[in-house]
Structure 1
Amino acid sequence: MSELHGNFSQNLKNIGTVGRSLSTWLLLLVPLSAAIGALCAVFLWLLDWATQSRFHYPNILYLLPVGGAAVAWIYARFGGTSDAGNNLIVDEIHTPSAGVPLRMAPLVFFGTIITHLFGGSAGREGTAVQLGGSLASTAGKYLHLSNAQTRLLLMAGVAAGFGAVFGTPLAGAIFALEVLAVGRLDYAGLLPCLLASLIADWTCHSLGAHHTLYHISYVPPASAPLFQHPLLLAKAALSGVAFGLVALIFAEANHKFGALMKRLVPFSPLRAAIGGCAVIALVWIFQTRAYLGLGVWSAIPGDPTISGFFAPSTDYWSWALKLLFTVVTLSTGFKGGEVTPLFFIGAALGHALAGLLNAPTDLFAGLGFVAVFAAAANTPIACTLMGIELFGAANAVPITIACWVAYTCSGHHGIYLSQRIATPKHDRLTTTLNDTLRSIRPVK
């Protein structure tokens, strides 16, 4: 009886410790996450303004080289370590050192707006994650938090930014845990990340920021013949192979072309100006502006868009053209992110594969939407949850299959080279503790 009483007393003490810890984190995370959510709302409004302005004043495209050079010069003059972007945040979470500078937030914020205003093909996740990470790091320094507490606060900042900018708080929380290491979730940050992502998303919505809604009307019929659903899942798995390979191509093209440009043109403003001229040249070569900006919507009727890929039509090459425009933009130094272009590439590729495989167009566009990102970021769990949050749970099984097959097929590659390898995807890779995707790349 005394042993039982002792266990009960110890459990009460543990509950009290957890309660005090949770109260402390609430005091930290509520204002921080609300601030990140508010900034994401302003960022989304300005992105929409930039996109509308680009359509309203089409000749603004010719200022892309000037805008890119200006942003690159500001980063070179004032940015310091900020230019490392998301990789700096991942490194700081693994090994806290100098921290993430607060100036990263305004630099990436306005740098991304300029990229989209003048027509660069980029995303928005990088901006949101860096906003969250820089604010969280600054809060940790100001409050003199320990390295362990700062690490958790950085993860929560990443979750808040990601969850708010895409309107997917569950995916945002898991992304912040999963993006740190291939094949491992850091459960220590689960509650702070979930809380931060939810608060930021609620704040963003309450301020009137809206996210594009995507709908998959296909629902597997309960009375389908035995072979029909397994055949659909086999098609989803086969498509997952293509999604993974395209994600690999995207990541490697970004890294290799970016390294080549840095070697050939060390002066970053000139490099960005050349990139801007190259984007303009691509517009003239292909006679289209459809692959500029986010690609979520277009004011030009008939332009391919992410939403448009969920409807039946014939478009087999938009994924490749968006990949080309985005690689040229990002690898020459423009700011933004990779994720929304990856959504476009994935949805376009899924749309094309649906026609080839005689599969539901909207379903396979949705599978590509999340699976290419899952493979490129090595975050299959977060992307599976994102698919369920965006499209509903009716097709959770094909979403899961596509994400995991794509993740496996992309190999040990990815858009975030600071990711560490916790569980190799295959036995042929031998790694040591703290190996990163960067460290296992061939030295040239």
Structure 2
Amino acid sequence: MKKFEHYSILKQLIRWIILVLPIAIVTGSIIALFLWLLNLAIHYRFQYQWLLFFLPAAGIAIYMTYNSIGKNSEKGNNLIIEEIHQAGAGIPKRMAPVILTTTVITHLFGGSAGREGTAVQIGGSIAGMFGRWFRLNEQDTRVMLTAGIAAGFGAVFGTPLTGAIFALEVLTIGSIRYNALFPALVASVIADITVAAWGIHHTAYHIDVFAHTTYHGAVWLPADLLLVFKVTVAAIAFGLASFLFSGMVQELKVIFVKVSPAGWMVPVIGGLIIIGLTYINGKQDYLSLGVDPQYPCAITIPSAFHAGGADTWSWLWKTVYTTTTLASGFKGGEVTPLFYIGATLGNTLAQVLDAPVSLFAALGFIAVFAGATNTPLACTFMGIELFGGEYALLFAIACFTAYFFSGHSGIYSAQTITVPKFEGTADESETSPGQASRRRGYLHSKIEKYRFPGSGTE
């Protein structure tokens, strides 16, 4: 019996390798192209800063693109998650080229957005296309879409293990189904290798060495416990920052639609707000990704890992910029801005708590992301992949604490709540973060009628 069982398992593993391999290679190649174009667009804007004044016009172009050819692609990552939960109309092939083009446009003209949403949608679109070509059944298509998410996420950040776990964990709050683990891992690893083969390199981050005792040994010293206490306090703040971000994106969408006389005016208003904010604070540090510096001493994610590398309220500025950008219809993603918010908030908290700056920047980097996406396990592994395993326990404490304190909100409204974070913390009628956010949101539900269809974040 065992002999036949293992033979069947071997056949299934080989089958999934054959199915996933082309998806991963194509996804990795397209993401390599995307990252190359994105880098060109960002540095071109650095050279010609006046491009920011055309952000409202770029918003109109994006709005018209989705209205004319984008169709249900407007729902972004949420469409892929919905298709995995319950098969519907499928993932349109046009999703990949449309999101790639509109994301590059967003960054070219200074929109504050990320790149994870684009990568995940590219992976999902390619997986859906191959699934139709291979004539897969409904269950296998779900697995294939999960593998597409893993390929996109793992390739865009250079974190293949995180990509695989994220693809499984992001679908539901409170449970993980492992039936897609092997295809997701294969897809993420191959896509990451493909990106590297095209000569695309990822930003390296580093935690400075500081005097400390070993917190993972058999004996816990007072210094260890004090550091853990500081990490826990900071992680609560990271979770609240996640909650703020998720809520602001949803509520700003409602406000924009309510005050706008026409749909195409929403990105115009958003673009004008971004221009105004830039001239209020006198610098362009909070535009675009926030990874590469536009000028010496600019505030970026890498700069946040050093003392004095961020202003006290840099995290809040980035929150306002990014939520305004995404809520008004510009494209990209939330994750890299969440990295920025977390790293700069960690920089600020390190000074308040008298803690190691680079360590707390790294903790904020992964923990704010964990709270906003409800993926603490994936984000713990991201910390290990990006920063090394020495502080794995602190990464876990930060990510899981932020996850709990972000509540049942989240940037992906299509997630389902299968098990509440704590007993009695979620209403039985709340089956998704979108419903939870609306009940606990900043604005009352009486303005819910102003929400527009397909308003899931990218």
Residue deviations 1:306-341, cap 9 Å, x none? 000101116211001111111111100000000000
Give the aligned partner of residue 291 of structure 1: 286
Query: What's the offset of the Cα at 1:223?
Result: 6.7
Q: State the 1:439 CA deviation.
A: 3.2
Identify the match of residue 181 of structure 1 among 172, 184, 189.
172
Q: Distance in 1 between matches of 2:317 and 2:71?
A: 33
- Correspondences of 1:6-25 after superposition (within 5 Å): 10-25=1-16
Q: Distance in 1 between matches of 2:102 and 2:233?
A: 38
Q: How does 1:11-410 map to 2 (within 5 A)?
A: 11-218=2-209, 221-222=212-213, 226-265=221-260, 267-313=262-308, 315-410=311-406
CA distance in 2, matches of 1:391, 1:76: 42
Deviation at 1:73, TM superposition (A): 0.8
TM-score, with structure 2 as normaliser: 0.93
**Which piece of structure 1 moves more, 61-70 or 373-382?**
61-70
Q: Which amino acid aligns with 1:402?
A: A
Contact 2:342 2:366 in 1 (8 A): yes
Q: Partner letter of residue 279 of structure 1?
A: I
Q: Aligned AA for 2:357?
A: T
SS at match of 1:438: helix
Determine if contact 1:218/1:363 at 8 Å carries over to the other structure: no
Which secondary structure does the structure 2 equivalent of 1:256 belong to?
helix
Q: How far 1:79 sits from its partner (Å)?
A: 1.1
Shift of 1:206: 1.1
* Maintained 8 Å contact 2:285/2:294: no
Q: Does 1:438 align with 2:438?
A: no
Look up the SS of the partner of 1:348 in the other structure: helix
CA distance in 1, matches of 2:214, 2:408: 41
CA contact 1:351–1:362 (8 Å) conserved in 2: yes
Q: Distance in 2 between matches of 1:288 and 1:319?
A: 15
For 1:4, the equivalent position in structure 2 comes to none
**Contact 1:220/1:395 (<8 A) preserved:** no
Report deviation, 1:266: 6.4
Q: State how far apart, in whole Å, the 2-side matches of 1:285 and 1:219 are.
A: 37
Q: Deviations over 1:320-378 (max 9, x none)?
A: 11111111111000000000000000000000000000000000000000000000000
Structure-2 change in CA distance of 1:55 and 1:223 (3 Å): closer
Aligned equivalents of 2:49, 2:162: Cα separation in 1: 36
| 17-26 vs 193-202, greater mean Cα deviation | 17-26
Q: Could you tell me which amino acid in structure 2 is paired with residue 205 of structure 1?
A: A
| Equivalent-residue separation in structure 1 for 2:261 and 2:380 (angstroms) | 40
Q: Provide the residue aligned with 2:455 in structure 1.
A: none
Please provide the CA RMSD for this pair.
1.5
Contact 1:69 1:268 (8 Å CA) reproduced: no
TM-score scaled by length of structure 1: 0.95
CA distance in 1, matches of 2:394, 2:260: 44
Aligned to 2:422: 426
Distance 1:154 1:222, change over 3 A: same
- Once residues 36 and 403 of structure 2 are traced to their aligned partners in structure 1, the CA distance between those partners, rounded to angstroms, is 33
Separation (CA, whole Å) in 2 of partners of 1:223 and 1:370: 22
Structure 1 letter corresponding to 2:348 = A
Identity rate, percent: 46
Superposed displacement of residue 25, structure 1: 0.9
Which stretch shifts more, 66-75 or 212-221? 212-221
Q: Is the CA contact 1:76–1:268 (under 8 Å) kept in the aligned structure 2?
A: no
> 1:23 deviation in Å?
1.6
2:285–2:298 contact (8 Å) kept in structure 1 = yes
Report the residue type matching 1:133 in the other structure.
Answer: G
- SS at structure 1 position matched to 2:179: helix
Cα gap change, 1:170/1:300 in structure 2, threshold over 3 Å: closer, same or farther?
same
Q: Where do 5+ consecutive residues of structure 1 fail to align?
A: 1-9
SS in structure 2 of the partner of residue 200 of structure 1: helix
Q: 1:318 corresponds to which letter in structure 2?
A: S
Distance in 2, Cα, partners of 1:426 & 1:363: 29
Structure 2 counterpart of 1:183, one-letter code: G
What is the deviation of 1:264? 2.9
Q: Give the SS at the match of 1:328.
A: helix
Q: Which runs of 5+ in 2 are unaligned?
A: 440-444, 447-458
Check whether the contact 1:346–1:368 (CA below 8 A) recurs between aligned residues. yes
How far, CA to CA, are the matches of 2:429 and 2:287 in structure 1? 41
| Change in 2 beyond 3 A, CA 1:22/1:207 | same
Aligned length: 435
